[in-house]
Amino acid sequence: MRAKITYAVTAAVLVFYFALAGSRGVLLIRHGTLLTVAFGVAVLILPLIGIWFLWKNTQFVRRANVLAAELDAEGGLPVDDLVRTPSGRIDRDSADATFARRQAETEDTPDDWRCWFRLAVAYQDARDTPRARKAMQRAIALHNTGTPTPKATPSPTGTSSPSATQSPTGTSSPSGD
């Protein structure tokens, strides 16, 4: 719940900023000189990019939450049994061990969105946010279409863990650095 409130407050602040910047862009355009019109257009472009980015992220979060709710209803959400440091951070070795299980599960059933969802959680636990996001996008795509996504999405093999080392067979194995 705390994350939802934080996201909503951040989104509201961003929308306020976009409105403020947009109004300044309109004022610059109204001034009418070549320089102020050029600056006004540039100032209007930034809030438009920001709104698009906020919209795409909001869609991603909503879709991921739909998957989480469905997986929760099935009883398939990953259990948080990771070892934590005294400060509350996830222990690296514990995250790597869980990651290895999730990676093997995903390699066994690469067309199952549930496996990709759990792999995304494992990536996030291993503090590899970009790969976590790509794995979640793959899970969303598989859930929506029931078919694999294009080859541009991450595969569960290769350099999958932030601390992964390439084995001679071409698969990755997590290392606890």
Residue 173 pairs in a beta bridge with: 165
Q: What is the mean pLDDT of residues 88-99?
A: 85
How sure is the predictor about 76, in pLDDT bands with cuts at 50, 70 and 90? confident
User: What is the identity of the amino acid at 7?
Assistant: Y
- At 148 the pLDDT is 47
Distance in angstroms (rounded) separating the CA atoms of residues 71 and 65: 10
Does residue 120 contact residue 132 with C-beta atoms inside 8 Å? yes
Comparing 3 with 35, the larger pLDDT belongs to 35
Whether 3 has a pLDDT exceeding 60, the answer reads yes
User: What is the identity of the amino acid at 17?
Assistant: Y
Cβ-count burial 86-103 (b if 16+ within 10 Å, e if not): eeeebebebbbbbbbebb
DSSP 8-state symbol, 163: T
10 Å Cβ neighbour count for 106?
27
**pTM of the shown model:** 0.70
**Which two three-digit tokens encode residue 174?**
């997590």
User: What is the identity of the amino acid at 16?
Assistant: F
Q: Which of 27, 108, 104, 112 is nearest to 70 (CA)?
A: 112
- 109-149: per-residue pLDDT in tens? 999 999 999 999 999 888 888 999 999 999 999 998 865 44
Q: Is 173 helix (H, G, I), strand (E, B) or coil?
A: strand
Comparing 11 with 146, the larger pLDDT belongs to 11
How sure is the predictor about 160, in pLDDT bands with cuts at 50, 70 and 90? very low
Q: What is the mean pLDDT of residues 81-87?
A: 84
Comparing 162 with 25, the larger pLDDT belongs to 25
Q: What is the mean pLDDT of residues 151-166?
A: 45
How sure is the predictor about 154, in pLDDT bands with cuts at 50, 70 and 90? low
- Residue 26's φ and ψ, nearest 5 degrees, are -65, -40
